């Protein structure tokens, strides 16, 4: 049975979500200690996390960043904040989707199912860990890890998805619209600048492992992986 963890400090909302989601055959756990969200996450090992932004002590953005250090589990933020910047912040901090309060439970279920399909498609569990490689560069999507010549760096989920798409498209161009559609289900609150920021972060990740100018901007089209380095990676 697939497991869903809810981190929501409004007990009525948490219980309502839990009751509704369980009707669809999911096992639901409501976090009880907001000081130990990551410990509960490790114990439960959920397939998906519903995470409120406004929480005691540390906000949802903080907890999402901690989770992203060790898991690519889908994270859907739920918040009363309706500003575009709040939704951008959720995405930038590793979230996969954003739901504003008040919400209809059917919308929640639709987004849960969408993220489950994306993360755990029918073929996902049939293979060993995937490794995408090109000229000594290695991407481990399940680890959120990029390696080259003995150096490695940890990625956020969005950084991982961008690099994965660039590798899959190489030597072709990865279109801006294709990247937006791959990275975000709901593009209403995602503008061009959001993608630009993420591309900048991806370039910095390449620099951390000793590769400069790895991502080429193709004016009017998108981005392309630019391999100019020595292939002798480990």
Residues 150 and 234: beta-carbon distance below 8 Å: yes
For the chain, the 3-state helix, strand and coil shares in percent, each to the nearest 5, are 40, 20, 40
Which pLDDT does position 185 carry in this prediction? Answer: 56
Tokens 């995602």 correspond to 190
The answer, yes or no, to whether residue 188 has pLDDT greater than 70, is no
What are the backbone dihedrals phi and psi of residue 173, each rounded to the nearest 5 degrees, phi first? Answer: -85, 135
SS3 150: coil
Tokens of 74: 């889908």
Query: pLDDT digits over 191-203, tens only?
Result: 667 788 889 999 9
Report the alpha-carbon distance of residue 43 to residue 60 in Å, rounded.
Answer: 18
Which pLDDT does position 23 carry in this prediction? Answer: 94
Sketch out the chain's domains with CATH numbers.
3-124 (3.40.50.2300), 132-225 (1.10.10.10)
Which pLDDT does position 191 carry in this prediction? Answer: 62
Which pLDDT does position 148 carry in this prediction? Answer: 94
Report the alpha-carbon distance of residue 21 to residue 112 in Å, rounded.
Answer: 9
Calculate mean pLDDT across residues 74-93: 85
> What's the burial of 179, exposed, middle or buried (CB within 10 Å: 0-12/13-18/19+)?
buried
Tokens of 137: 């560069």
Report the alpha-carbon distance of residue 61 to residue 79 in Å, rounded.
Answer: 11
Calculate mean pLDDT across residues 24-50: 94
Which pLDDT does position 192 carry in this prediction? Answer: 67
Residues 132 and 148: beta-carbon distance below 8 Å: no
Which pLDDT does position 233 carry in this prediction? Answer: 46
SS3 3: strand
Calculate the alpha carbon distances from 77 to 83, 161, 185, 188 in Å: 13, 19, 13, 16
Query: pLDDT digits over 103-149, tens only?
Result: 999 999 999 998 988 887 754 544 456 899 999 999 998 888 999 99
Average pLDDT of the chain, as a whole number: 87
What pTM value is reported for the model? Answer: 0.58
The answer, yes or no, to whether residue 36 has pLDDT greater than 60, is yes
């Amino acid at each position: 049975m697939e497991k869903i963890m809810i981190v929501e400090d409004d007990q009525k909302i948490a219980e309502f979500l839990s009751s509704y989601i369980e009707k669809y055959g999911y096992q639901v756990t409501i976090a009880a200690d907001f000081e130990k969200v990551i410990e509960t996450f490790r114990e439960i090992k959920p397939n998906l996390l519903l995470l409120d932004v406004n929480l005691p002590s540390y906000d949802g953005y903080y907890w999402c960043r901690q989770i992203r250090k060790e898991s690519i589990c889908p994270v859907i933020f739920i918040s009363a904040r309706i500003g575009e910047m709040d939704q951008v912040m959720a995405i930038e901090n590793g979230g996969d989707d954003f739901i504003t309060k008040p919400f209809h439970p059917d919308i929640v279920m639709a987004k849960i199912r969408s993220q489950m399909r994306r993360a755990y498609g029918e073929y996902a569990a049939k293979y060993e860990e995937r490794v995408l490689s090109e000229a000594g560069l290695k991407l481990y999507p399940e680890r959120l890890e990029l390696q080259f010549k003995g150096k490695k760096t940890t990625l956020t989920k969005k950084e991982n998805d961008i690099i994965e798409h660039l590798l899959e498209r190489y030597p072709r161009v990865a279109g801006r619209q294709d990247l937006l559609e791959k990275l975000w289900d709901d593009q209403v609150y995602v503008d061009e600048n959001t993608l630009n920021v993420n591309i900048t972060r991806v370039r910095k990740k390449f620099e951390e492992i000793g590769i400069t100018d790895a991502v080429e901007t193709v004016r009017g089209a998108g981005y392309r992986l630019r391999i100019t380095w020595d292939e002798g990676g480990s």
